[in-house]
Chains A and B, each alone.
Chain A
């Protein structure tokens, strides 16, 4: 379960953590991805595992378009840019939830049978549910890919450089909007991947994103802003803490453990575990 949070958080780690743009609609991106893979399954009988790249590609376009249409302008605000970003993306989240209710109705949906759904693998006497296992695997790959992308490619370096100093970056001929639109697209594609895998074993409804979004923010902040590895570590810690809390406290209180650990960590290290900002 921990790596699953990591998977949701990895996209946010890019947008929120590396580009320093607040995205309060992250959970709604997840919701959209889950619906996409549901409909691809319902109408074309494409298994979510196969459609995952399609969903990720669709989300890539969606994320880039959202950046170019809305977020670009929110970032232009001179005064209190942080609040403007919070509330434009919050407004966007409300619109997306409304649209989901309008087109998809508030009904709970699920994908009844898929290659992975409900199957388990036994490993050294421990039974592990397959979907979660695949989720964990994809999550590790996604993090490794993002790490490589940020630290080893020119485009990744351009993203970091653009956050640091947009003016200087413009001087060396990098188009800030192109870089950030690509970054948003990539962040959205990663959450698209998460949505496609989660669609296999979670109910899908318009508000589903909200329950995961907060934990994703906490995961990113726990690991520290500006660090891909931090978000990955954050995901694992959040998962472990949740599992341990669930043993000690009633299930309805399991998130309290996660939140408490976040507070504890930032009180000791105000920049998160591996943060550079």
Chain B
């Protein structure tokens, strides 16, 4: 069993490296800007969902308020950039640290809550954040912030003529989130989290400090999501509260992981690879009428997939199923 586990982990790492290599070469063949755009969004959502999965999938604390951390990442970066001229590279990290601190600060009271009470608390706190930003004049209120364009520059992480740098950043972030998950899966923390998810009382009695391990998961998860938010802001060059902190966003972050397989290493990537292109294609091919046909198709697909594969697409791969049975 131990040997199997180690072998599986090595295999996962090799597959990931292979996929990342193929993805890195993709822009050589894909010149179409529209397709590149979809690829960037897919990678970004894969990264976000992977980060969400750390807290909600592995540790079992279902959060539907991660838009808060995404928004904090986006706003910290852009406020520091537009008001104080801090380079996005630094402010991005700042945003991540702030988000992680907030996650831990909130975790202190939140992690006492269970089930629906916890989920609703996460929704509510993100909604408070949204309302506060919508009314915060200095931060642009509901109008948001338009990021001044100062030409192509790696230093300012701004590119007008090409989308390639964004693509590689998104790919890097996706790899980072995957690797962090991979690494944590086999660490002390990973085992603690699964124990906390399955049976907090039993975990506690065996010496797992349940509260601290939840805090750790929240901090890592929030940090990575905030970096994603910073990227998104630079990518769009425009942010407003609704588009980076809206409730829809929290759901969109969770959706790939749920469709792909919640609490699994490959679920979020797989889910994002199918869901995001599907979203974008239905929107652009049948959404033009403005009559909601894209919503009908998209919603129907979500219903069907979640009904047909409650354990996510990952469960289609029978090998992991057999392994899951013995675990």
**Docked pose: A255 CA to B117 CA in angstroms:** 18
Decide yes or no: A263 and B125 within 8 Å by CB, A80-B311, A221-B120, A270-B114 being known contacts: yes
Q: Which residues of A contact B300 (CB under 8 A)?
A: 91, 95
- In Å, the complex CA distance between A40 and B129 comes to 40
User: Is A83 a contact partner of B262 (Cβ separation < 8 A)?
Assistant: yes
Is B207 interfacial (CB 8 A cutoff)?
A: no
User: Is A189's beta carbon under 8 Å from chain B?
Assistant: no
Instruction: Kindly state whether residue B116 has any CB partner on chain A within 8 Å.
Output: yes
A92 touching B123, Cβ below 8 Å: no
> Which residues of chain A have C-beta atoms less than 8 A from B298's C-beta?
94, 98
Given contacts A84-B310, A105-B291, A206-B292, whether A94 and B258 have CB atoms under 8 Å apart is: no
**9-residue interface stretch from B28-36, B72-80, B130-138, B181-189:** B130-138
Flag whether B112 is at the interface (Cβ < 8 A): yes
Which residues on B sit within 8 Å (CB–CB) of A97?
292, 295, 299
Verify A217–B306 contact, CB threshold 8 A. Answer: no
B62's contact among A83, A221, A252, A255, by CB below 8 Å, is which?
A83
Chain A positions within 8 Å of B127 at CB level = 214, 255, 259
Whether B307 sits at the interface, judged by CB under 8 Å, is: yes
For chain B, residues 128 to 173, give those with C-beta under 8 angstroms from any C-beta of chain A. Answer: 128, 131-132, 134-135
Q: What residues on A are CB-neighbors of B247 within 8 Å? A: 214
Query: Which chain A residues border B295 with CB–CB below 8 Å?
Result: 94-95, 97-98, 101
The answer to whether A262 and B112 have CB atoms under 8 Å apart is no
Decide yes or no whether A250 CB sits under 8 A from chain B: yes
The residue that A92 contacts in the complex, of B62, B251, B303, B310, with Cβ under 8 A, is B303
A74 at the interface (CB under 8 A from B): yes
Q: Which chain A residues lie closer than 8 Å to B135 at the CB level?
A: 250, 252-253
**A140 CB-CB contact with B under 8 Å:** no
Contact A87 B258 (CB under 8 A): yes
Q: Is the C-beta of A82 less than 8 angstroms from some C-beta in chain B?
A: yes
Main secondary structure of the interface of A (DSSP, over half): helix
A232 to B154, CA, bound (A): 57
C-alpha spacing A96/B306, complex, angstroms: 17
Q: Is the CB of B310 within 8 A of A80?
A: yes
Task: Write the A241-262 contact mask toward B (1 if CB under 8 angstroms, else 0).
Answer: 0000000001011011001101
| Docked-complex contact A262 and B299, CB < 8 angstroms | no
Tell me the nearest residue of chain A to B142, going by C-beta.
A252
Considering the complex, give the chain B residue whose CB is closest to the CB of A210.
B247
How far apart are A195's CB and chain B's nearest CB, in angstroms? Answer: 20
Q: Are B306 and A88 in contact (CB under 8 A)?
A: yes
Q: Given A98-B293, A102-B292, A270-B112, are A77 and B310 neighbors across the interface (CB < 8 Å)?
A: yes
Q: How many of chain B's residues touch chain A, expressed as a range?
A: 35 or more
Contacts of A73 in B (CB 8 A): 307
Residues of A contacting B290 with CB < 8 Å?
101, 106
Residue from B115, B296, B302 in contact with A99 in the complex, judged by beta carbons closer than 8 Å: B296
Considering the complex, which residues of chain B in the window 41-93 have a beta carbon less than 8 Å from any beta carbon of chain A?
Answer: 62, 64
Contact: B123 with A214, CB < 8 Å? yes
Residue A225 at the B interface, CB < 8 A? yes
- Whether A93 contacts B306 by the Cβ 8 Å rule is no
Cβ of A87: which chain B residues have Cβ within 8 Å of it?
Answer: 255, 258-259, 302, 306
A259 proximity list for chain B (CB < 8 A): 124-125, 127-128
A78 within 8 A of B: yes
Q: Which of A81, A250, A253, A263 has the most chain B CB atoms inside 10 A of its CB?
A: A263
User: Closest residue of chain A to B301, judged by CB?
Assistant: A91
Max chain A Cβ within 10 angstroms of own Cβ: one of B62, B247, B291, B298 = B291
Least Cβ distance of A88 to chain B in Å?
A: 5
A78, B312: Cα distance in complex, Å: 12
- B240 interface residue (CB < 8 Å to A): no
Q: When chains A and B are docked, how far (Å) is the Cα of A183 from the Cα of B115?
A: 22
B302 engages A94 (CB within 8 Å) = yes
Q: Give, as a whole number of angstroms, the nearest-CB distance from B274 to chain A.
A: 14
Say yes or no: B131 contacts A255, CB within 8 Å: yes
Tell me if B113 counts as interface (CB < 8 A to partner A): yes
| Chain A positions 124 through 164: 1 when the CB is less than 8 Å from some CB of chain B, otherwise 0 | 00000000000000000000000000000000000000000
**A residues with CB within 8 A of B:** 16, 22, 70, 73-74, 77-84, 86-88, 90-102, 105-106, 206, 214, 217-218, 221, 225, 250, 252-253, 255-256, 259-260, 262-263, 266-267, 270-272
Give the A-binding residues of B (Cβ under 8 A).
Answer: 62, 64, 109, 112-117, 120-121, 123-125, 127-128, 131-132, 134-135, 247, 251, 254-255, 258-259, 262-263, 290-303, 306-307, 310-311
29 contacts between A and B (CB under 8 A): A74-B306, A80-B310, A82-B115, A83-B262, A91-B300, A92-B299, A92-B303, A94-B299, A94-B302, A95-B303, A96-B299, A97-B292, A98-B298, A99-B296, A101-B292, A102-B296, A217-B120, A221-B117, A252-B134, A252-B135, A255-B131, A256-B132, A259-B124, A260-B128, A263-B124, A266-B113, A266-B117, A270-B113, A272-B117
